[in-house]
Amino acid sequence: MAYLETVSFQAGVPVTPTAQDSDVLGVDCTLEFPQCPIRIQIKCTSRTLSPTTGTMSYDIGENVFAKWRRNAYPVYLVVVVVPADHDTWLDFDTDDQTLARSAAYWAEVDREKKTGPWSVALRREDRLTAATLRHWHAQSFGGGFGG
């Protein structure tokens, strides 16, 4: 959640976490665009994208796809990739900087999917940045927003 919050703050888009134990729509948070919400499911893994294809297939499960079908608005899966060793997630260097050794990738989920495989394909070119949120907004509603 912290990764997405940082990106959304940079983009100037408010983000609201889903209340704990109320995951009826299969999402962890909502980006609060003025026109309507965009819902996000966030996952974290130490698996990396394939070095040859630049892709990853992330298994979700049929029950989550069933929840996503209930959403009237766009739903995106964001997968944050972190090092396997927790001690290397953050680097507190000598230049008064804190560097996060992570990256996040996204895919719009197919809310109509009714048969397996119950996974979502992620691509290296779909790295989550502040520009991604502007892209989602333009794709869903047209026009700009935020900072």
Round the average pLDDT of the chain to a whole number and report it.
88
Domain boundaries, the chain: 2-138
pLDDT in tens, 44-96: 999 999 999 999 999 998 999 999 998 888 899 999 999 999 888 888 877 88
pTM of the predicted model as reported, rounded to 2 decimal places = 0.89
For 2-138, CATH number?
Answer: 3.40.1350.10
Whole-Å CA distances, 97 to 34, 52, 80, 92, 102: 34, 32, 21, 6, 15
Asked if 63 and 114 count as a contact pair (C-beta separation under 8 A), the reply is no
Asked if 33 and 39 count as a contact pair (C-beta separation under 8 A), the reply is no
CA distance 11 to 59: 29
Please state the rounded mean pLDDT for residues 111-116.
Answer: 84
